[in-house]
């Protein structure tokens, strides 16, 4: 806890070093750390980096591995997730923006990289899941019918599928935000929420959390609270599903509608409702001069499996995947 006594600026620098080490896929030395810090706007020479690393070693956050490389300790990982809460409020928005910059999916182009959620499940539970997923897709509570299944040992993003497990990769609704951005529309992902389904129709949001106002991932919050009732919505027509909202300028609404239609014909849908200008979208606030687009959350598939008693570990917005390699179920 000695890190806490550091002045804010030096604390920030130390945390940035921890982030650089964490982002590297193998032990990383002072020279490479110094270079990467410079890319991120922190001008620290190799010598100063070395000094800071010694400090971090003493605090127990890093340790040497092999010849001059450093890795994070358990304590270091913990510190990374606990320190500088002010910097972490709204972190999901930052991650969303990174991903919508990187995705290039657009039915009008050759771009095929979509943003995906990754759900890990036990191999023995695999039988029956496809049947289950099919029903959720049929009901329209996901983004795309296409999924990818990865076997143990395979990797996606920073996730390696552990032995005995499978990874189910599903399309994330943020893919659509990326497509809107590529068409020049400034898109702002605002809220995640729970939406009520009555007689097979999505009627109104019952709870909302803004991405910009929390250090926790709102979608994960809703998944952990187990408020959704996806299977009930599928079976009886009455239940709750997870959804999210994005704002776009009123001037872009026609272009956005055309883009959504195009995506739909390529198998990426999930649209719940485009609001009237400046009006709330099913209870979710929309700024004046904007239009709110509500989409189903891609994680509804994983939520439905959990509801059926299948243990699933889901990482929303976890990687990019090649849409042409995903198959329809």
Partner 1 sequence: MTTTSLDPLIFSLSRIENLMYRVSFDPLEMTGRIITNSSVVDLEMLDPTLRIFWEAMESGLSVSPLVKVESCGRRARIYTACSITIDGVLLKSGVPMRPKGGGVIEVVEREPVRFTDVLMYWATTIDPIDVLISQELTCVVRMMQTGNGRILGNLQEAPMLARETIEEVLEVLAEAEFAGVLEMGEPNMDVLGVSVERDRLGIALVGGTNIIAAAVEQGMKIETESISGLTDVSEMRHIEELV
Q: Which residues bind partner 1 (CB under 8 A)?
A: 1, 4, 8, 81-86, 88-89, 201, 203-210, 212-216, 221, 224-225, 273, 275-276, 279-285
- Nearest approach, Cβ of 219 to partner 1 (angstroms)? 13
- Nearest approach, Cβ of 86 to partner 1 (angstroms)? 5
Q: Are 98 and 55 in contact (CB under 8 A)?
A: no
- Nearest approach, Cβ of 271 to partner 1 (angstroms)? 11
Q: Which residues of 17-52 are buried (b: 16+ CB within 10 A; e: fewer)?
A: bbebbeebeebbbbebbbebbeeeebebeeeebbeb
Q: Are 196 and 203 in contact (CB under 8 A)?
A: yes
- Find the angle CA(168)-CA(173)-CA(179) to the nearest 5 degrees: 120
- 3-state class of 108 per DSSP? coil
What is the DSSP secondary structure assignment for residue 159, as one 8-state letter?
Answer: E
CA distances from 1 to 6, 57, 80, 177 (A): 10, 13, 12, 40
- Nearest approach, Cβ of 275 to partner 1 (angstroms)? 7
- Nearest approach, Cβ of 290 to partner 1 (angstroms)? 14
Give me the torsion for CA of 162, 168, 173, 176, rounded to 10°: 100
- Nearest approach, Cβ of 18 to partner 1 (angstroms)? 15
Q: How far apart are the first and last CA of the chain?
A: 50
Distance (Å, whole) CA 97 – CA 75 = 29
Distance (Å, whole) CA 23 – CA 44 = 18
Q: Are 33 and 7 in contact (CB under 8 A)?
A: no
Closest CA to 173 of 67, 294, 2, 307: 294
Comparison of 89 and 149: residue with beta carbon closer to partner 1:
89
Comparison of 55 and 89: residue with beta carbon closer to partner 1:
89
- Nearest approach, Cβ of 33 to partner 1 (angstroms)? 25
């Amino acid at each position: 806890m000695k890190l806490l006594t550091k002045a804010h600026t030096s604390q920030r620098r130390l945390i940035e070093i921890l982030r650089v080490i964490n982002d590297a896929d193998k032990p990383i030395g002072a020279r490479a750390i110094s270079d990467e810090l410079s890319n991120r706007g922190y001008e620290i020479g190799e010598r100063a980096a070395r000094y800071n690393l010694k400090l971090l070693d003493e605090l127990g956050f890093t340790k040497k591995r092999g010849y001059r490389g450093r890795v994070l300790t358990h304590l270091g990982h913990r510190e990374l997730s606990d320190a500088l809460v002010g910097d972490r409020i709204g972190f999901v928005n930052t991650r969303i923006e990174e991903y919508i910059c990187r995705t290039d999916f657009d039915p009008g182009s050759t771009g095929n990289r979509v943003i995906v959620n990754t759900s890990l499940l036990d191999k023995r539970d695999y039988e029956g899941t496809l049947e289950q997923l099919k029903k959720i897709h049929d009901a329209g509570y996901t983004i795309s019918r296409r999924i990818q299944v990865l076997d143990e040992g395979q990797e996606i993003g920073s996730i390696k599928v552990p032995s005995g497990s499978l990874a189910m990769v599903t399309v994330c609704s943020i893919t659509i935000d990326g497509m809107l951005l590529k068409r020049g529309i400034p898109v702002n992902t605002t809220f995640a929420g729970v939406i009520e389904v009555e007689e097979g129709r999505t009627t109104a949001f019952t709870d909302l959390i803004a991405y910009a106002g929390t250090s926790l991932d709102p979608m994960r919050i809703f998944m952990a609270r187990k408020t959704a009732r996806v299977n009930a919505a599928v079976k009886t027509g009455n239940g709750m599903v997870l959804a999210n909202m994005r704002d776009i300028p009123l001037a872009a609404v026609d272009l956005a509608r055309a883009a959504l239609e195009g995506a739909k014909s390529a198998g990426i849908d999930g649209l719940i409702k485009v609001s009237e200008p400046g009006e709330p979208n099913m209870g979710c606030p929309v700024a004046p001069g904007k239009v709110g687009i509500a989409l189903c959350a891609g994680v509804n598939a994983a939520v439905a499996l959990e509801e059926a008693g299948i243990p699933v570990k889901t990482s929303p917005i976890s990687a990019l995947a090649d849409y042409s390699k995903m198959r329809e179920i």
